[in-house]
Structure 1
Amino acid sequence: MAYPTIAVANAFIEKAQQGFLPDLDPMKLQKLIFYAQSWHLRLYNEPLVDDFFAKWPYGPVIPSLYHEVKRYGSKPITNLISNVSWKGDDMVIVTPTIPHCDQKTTALIDKIIEVYGPLRGTQLSYLTHQEGTAWSETEKEGAVIPNDMLAKHIK
């Protein structure tokens, strides 16, 4: 089951708030979710997030997430992402999260943080640009990077 992108983003933001993930700026968040999605597709043959990555100049980006966190610029993200939703006639604030009982997803996020978390967003961007990556194999800037390419090219 794929989660809303914001739920996965909030999982990483929570880890940063708890001190387990240094310098979580918007670029780093995008790249961590890219690696989480790629590894989830490779290991479990199903997407982790319900959105797509596009080829942008600084690496793979989920455009909807970009717009949620762009106000931070290159500064650390400090707050969970919430949205306004309607429940009947009432407006409610919703903060999507991954249930704590989903140990498979939690373990994957923890592993992504262990492996990629010490790197800065610019370093992660550099890694996504290497020859043979899904980003480098996607021809046109702005194009969607298909999930099968994410799974195929993650090493």
Structure 2
Amino acid sequence: MYSAVDISFFFIRKGVTPLKLQKLLFYSQVWYFVKYRNLLFKDEIQAWVLGPVVRNVWDKYRFIRRGDLINERYIEKDICDKEIVSHLNEIWKIYGGYTGLELVDLTHSESLWINARGEISPEQISTNTIKIDEQSISDFSLDGDGRIPVANNNVCGIATFNSNVGEELF
């Protein structure tokens, strides 16, 4: 099993901000579990104000300025497992065209994040863990061909009202 930092290198090579990276890691983990009933990486995902965050990945790239792409010099290794690379390419194909803030809006509409936040107010800091298991993923299902369905970002939120919201404010 890989770490979330290992998986992050795949997306860094594609060109991502720290905020966008966090949301791509979330969807990578969720959809991998839906497809294979195993976790892609061992790290927990927390329900932060601006959506799902893997804390140790955030710690690694937290110094990068808002809106800046993470430099490829941080890539330490490549993912060699063809099944995982194929999965990550599928995630990129579906979610890679969204901005970090659009992905914030999308993750805020997901029951996994909503349930992990519970009764916490939207602006309150939280380190609650997003639980990914058989029961919690019932909202996620593959299409008839066994593929991840195209994301529907018809939610209105942070990206719609304020595209200047801090990438650094997870």
User: TM-score normalised to the size of structure 2?
Assistant: 0.72
Q: Does the 8 Å CA contact 1:60/1:128 hold for their aligned counterparts?
A: yes
Q: Does the 8 Å CA contact 1:4/1:96 hold for their aligned counterparts?
A: no
Displacement after TM superposition at 1:9 (Å): 0.2
Structure 1 distance, partners of 2:14, 2:44, is 23
Match of 1:145 among 109, 127, 130: 130
Structure 1 distance, partners of 2:84, 2:33, is 12
Q: Which structure 1 residue ranges, 5 or more long, are not aligned? A: 17-23, 83-94
Match of 1:39 among 7, 28, 31: 31
Q: Which residue of 1 aligns with 2:160?
A: none
Match of 1:81 among 60, 70, 74: 74
Q: Give structure 1 regions of 4+ aligned residues with deviation exceeding 2 angstroms.
A: 79-82, 149-155
Higher share in helix: 1
- Residue 15 of structure 1 aligns to which amino acid in structure 2? K
Matched, 1:55 2:54: no
Secondary structure of the residue aligned to 1:145 is coil
Q: Does the 8 Å CA contact 1:28/1:121 hold for their aligned counterparts?
A: yes
Structure 1 distance, partners of 2:40, 2:73, is 19
Structure 2 distance, partners of 1:61, 1:71, is 15
Q: Which residue of 2 aligns with 1:70?
A: 62
Q: Does the 8 Å CA contact 2:112/2:132 hold for their aligned counterparts?
A: no
**What per-residue deviation string (whole Å, max 9, x for no partner) do you get for residues 45-69 of structure 1?**
0011110100100001011100101
Q: Does the 8 Å CA contact 1:3/1:49 hold for their aligned counterparts?
A: yes
User: TM-score normalised to the size of structure 1?
Assistant: 0.78
RMSD: 1.7
Q: Does the 8 Å CA contact 1:9/1:29 hold for their aligned counterparts?
A: yes
After superposing the two structures, state which structure 1 stretch, 68-77 or 34-43, moved more.
68-77
